Amino acid sequence: MKLLKQSYERDGGGSIVCECEVPDDVWMLYNLVLPGDKVKCPTTRKLQKESSSGTVSTDVKKIVLDILVKKTEYEGERDILRVSGQVAEESPYVKIGAYHTLEISLNTRLTLYKECWDRVFLDKLKEASDPHRTAEVQVV
């Protein structure tokens, strides 16, 4: 896992910005994200527009949403983490409180906010971001 930024507060809360590089990183993230955390990352959202003539058109927009986590699911076959919850910050396209599911896969950059980063979470994060963990050794 590529750890791009860390910011911790004295009260134990804080955030990280990371990117999953290998399939194990998605699994590790599944173990880090808990209900009550906030996750911010790019996603797509179907938006419906009604014209003055009454016809409805659907448009798919790529947006960045901040979700208050209610549930997480890991799909091992496709190495995808689904994070479901309510939108925590309003965007021009989605109201606060609307439900959305983020799909996090390889090379997805995200921000994870936690109220409390305890020692277990910090150790898991350190292990996941260790560059020697994914290094390949070749003997000649």
Please name the residues in contact with 115: beta carbons below 8 A apart, sequence gap of 6 or more: 12, 13, 36, 37
Tens digit of pLDDT for each residue in 81-132?
Answer: 999 999 999 888 899 999 999 999 999 999 999 999 988 888 888 888 887 6
Name residue, tokens 């994870």: 112
Euclidean distance between CA atoms 124 and 135, whole angstroms: 18
Amino acid at 88: A
Euclidean distance between CA atoms 9 and 116, whole angstroms: 9
Tens digit of pLDDT for each residue in 44-55?
Answer: 998 888 878 888
pTM over cut 0.75: yes
Superfamily in which the 2-128 domain is placed by CATH: Pelota, domain A (2.30.30.870)
